[in-house]
Structure 1
Amino acid sequence: MDLTMAAPKAPALAHKPSQDATERRPHGAIWAQQGPALLLALVLGGQALPALANNFKLPYEVAAMRAMPVDPSVRPRPCPDLVNPPFQLQHGSRYKRGDGSISQVDPQLAAAEIEATRPVRQFNRIIADMASISLKAPQFATAAMECVVRHLDHWASGRAYLGENSNQGEYEKKWGSITYALAYIESRQAATPAQRTRIEAWLSRMGHDVHAFYSRPAIWGLNSRNNNHAYWAALSCAAVGMASNDQELFHWGMSRFVAALDDIDPSGHLPLELRRGPRALEYHAFALGPLLLLAAIAKANAVTVPAPGLAALHRLADSVRAGMLDPDVFTRLTGQKQTIVKPRPAEWAWAELALHIWPDSTLDRQIAKDRPYFHIWLGGDLSIRYANRPR
């Protein structure tokens, strides 16, 4: 691949310019102008990525999972009622303004966010639940896949998220699109040609919205659309690219993933997430999830990730693990007591992805008692997808 290739272009969208702080990282301007193209050339090493949607691979074998013996403990579940799709989301952040660490929750703002995103949370749960049922209960796979497709088609037809969103609304679009793309890939065989056309067009539009929102030079600074948000954006574009056969989006997601690995310092921490003060451990774990799934997707699709980058990702996973076992590690780093004092089982969900990449018998035993692990924005039931154990 030619190192001088132009960076991928996304359709112009009517987003308002960011009003966030614009302090840049040293490489910010270079990344905005040349980064995606240069990194993509280095990552692919001259390889051509898959040309057809069916050639993009998930990190697990869907057909093989559905050929496994039936789990009699799983009961049939009727397809839930359709949820009205929100054309636009205008809610704001739950965090108090003026707090440099962006770590203090305002109860009124949090309540407003919960109310504004109620249909989104309901819809996301339906999609993740039904997609997971289609994998762990082969006897109900057809009905579950049809349910996933029916709900996705309803939101695609209603043009969910495609209006003028607030920054928070754009974040919901980014996170949700990952859930929808992964579930659609798993359930696509149940869709009619007309449903495929509508769903894939909708996913592609959301993916290009995310691409445009995170490709602006002004965002590569210390603001709320950098750090972990950029990592989730990379995963959104990679997943949507796989689901809609959009190589431009997949390429951008992979190149942004490789760039993200440079954010990890020699001690295995993310400097911008350390600035979250009492939420530093929480946001390190939040940032780790999408990076691990991107690494798994890269491996499944023969995308070469530089060894130093993978080593950095391993350091990050180790630092999060250390913090989960002893949150005071992050208290000492930040000088502030962490919001995660005793991690809940769900806060170890990232470990299923880490074990998929780096087998570790100690970590495997450590998390085994609390399986299955579920993370809506990473696709649903991570244990059934990544633990690679017979049912």
Structure 2
Amino acid sequence: MHHVSVRVLFIVLLAASAAFGFERSAHACAVPAPVETIDPPGYYDDATGYARAVKPMRDFVARLNSSAAKGDWSCALDLLESWAKADALMGHISGYQGYYERSWAGTDFAMVILRMPREFRETNQARFNAVDPWLERIAIATRDSEAINHLHNNLVYWAGLDLIAIGSATGNASLVDSGLLRVREGIRDIGPDGALAREVKRGNRALHYHTFALIPLVFAAELVRQRNIDLYRENDRAIDRLANLVIESVEDPASFAKITPVKQDLFPWTFQDELCWFEPYYARVRDRRLAALIAPRRPFSEWRLGGNVTAAWGVPLPDR
């Protein structure tokens, strides 16, 4: 009788534990309410209002990227599917900053998907049938955004990466082709000295924007390699020239004076996470200068690129 009681108690506790575990898993992937539209004031126009307006979307992105970092692909898909079904971020944009934000968010969503194991994506294809058209709507809106297209600067290159990443994630070759037009514009913009004339005009932020412009060019080059396209070779290896300019400037910021005499102001993240392109670029070229610059900065995290770039793109560094 005693053994029966113990057995019954064990079964009850097991059931309670299972129920508690279900409760925890049911809340483990709480999905933030979808953001209907992203329409903040310009970053330089109203920094406080900007931060307040983008927070709900950035919180979602942070949760998505955290799921990717943990390899919790089920949660990542729950998040994306929920926002896809709500057609999130696709509401009317009255200003200009929202077009940039939506483009960056779409890039992040696609980069997370591209990290997912193939088997997971194949097993859940029915659910991706809801996500993929939403991502394509984001990409098409970016492609057709005159608020971006007329700029012919780093934001166009970022739009190119958005189109390439989403086209790669959804298998839409026409989006990749549209993205290549924009990325190749950036590669053609790189001068013999590695500088970008439009970004030099940013005055005391010129070095920052050279770094920021390089990110989409490098990641786009990596994504299209699977299509046997070598963007690194184009315009007489222009990406390498821009990369070398930035690397020299990280080693010695004063060296950027050869591009502009204007004293440069950097954001705290300019020489930290916005150097995330170091990871795939080092994996490609194995420049020993990069190894020394990467080591103290790891891990690199960029919210527009799926979060932990080091985990997704990094390779072991040589012993120092």
TM-score normalised by L of structure 2: 0.82
Match of 1:84 among 33, 41, 52: 33
TM-superposed CA distance for 1:213, in Å, is 1.3
CA contact (8 A) 2:43 2:97 kept: no
TM-superposed CA distance for 1:193, in Å, is 4.2
TM-superposed CA distance for 1:330, in Å, is 3.1
Match of 1:295 among 210, 221, 227: 221
What do residues 125-167 of structure 1 show as CA deviations (whole Å, max 9, x unaligned)? 1122221221xxxxxxxxx000100000111112111111131
What do residues 357-379 of structure 1 show as CA deviations (whole Å, max 9, x unaligned)? 21112311332132221112122
Query: Could you tell me which residue of structure 1 aligns to residue 91 of structure 2?
Result: 163
Match of 1:195 among 104, 117, 127: 127
Q: Distance in 1 between matches of 2:172 and 2:252?
A: 42
- Say whether residues 1:356 and 2:263 are aligned partners: no
TM-superposed CA distance for 1:277, in Å, is 0.7
Q: Counterparts of 1:212-227 in structure 2 under 5 Å? A: 212-213=144-145, 219-220=149-150, 225-227=151-153
Match of 2:109 among 177, 180, 183: 180
CA contact (8 A) 1:273 1:283 kept: yes
Q: Counterparts of 1:1-391 in structure 2 under 5 Å? A: 79-96=28-45, 109-134=46-71, 144-165=72-93, 166-187=95-116, 189=120, 192-213=124-145, 219-220=149-150, 225-305=151-231, 307-309=233-235, 311-331=237-257, 333-340=259-266, 344-389=271-316
Go from structure 1 to structure 2 and tell me whether the alpha carbon gap of 1:170 and 1:79 turns closer, same or farther (over 3 Å shift). Answer: farther
CA contact (8 A) 1:176 1:377 kept: yes
TM-score normalised by L of structure 1: 0.68
What do residues 240-282 of structure 1 show as CA deviations (whole Å, max 9, x unaligned)? 1111221110111123222321100110011100111111111
What do residues 77-135 of structure 1 show as CA deviations (whole Å, max 9, x unaligned)? x8452112211122221224xxxxxxxxxxxx10001111011111111122221221x
Aligned length: 287
What do residues 58-94 of structure 1 show as CA deviations (whole Å, max 9, x unaligned)? xxxxxxxxxxxxxxxxxx9x84521122111222212
Go from structure 1 to structure 2 and tell me whether the alpha carbon gap of 1:330 and 1:304 turns closer, same or farther (over 3 Å shift). Answer: closer
Aligned residues: percent identity? 28
Q: Distance in 2 between matches of 1:341 and 1:388?
A: 27
Query: Could you tell me which residue of structure 2 aligns to residue 99 of structure 1?
Result: none
Backbone CA RMSD of aligned residues: 2.4
Q: Distance in 2 between matches of 1:167 and 1:185?
A: 28
CA contact (8 A) 1:280 1:338 kept: yes
TM-superposed CA distance for 1:311, in Å, is 1.2
Q: Distance in 2 between matches of 1:185 and 1:292?
A: 16
**Unaligned stretches of 5+ in structure 1?**
1-75, 97-108, 135-143
**Unaligned stretches of 5+ in structure 2?**
1-24
Q: What amino acid is aligned across from residue 152 of structure 1 in structure 2? A: L
Name which one, 1 or 2, has greater alpha-carbon Rg.
Answer: 2
TM-superposed CA distance for 1:381, in Å, is 1.6
Secondary structure of residue in 2 paired with 1:117: helix
Secondary structure of residue in 1 paired with 2:231: coil
CA contact (8 A) 1:290 1:378 kept: no
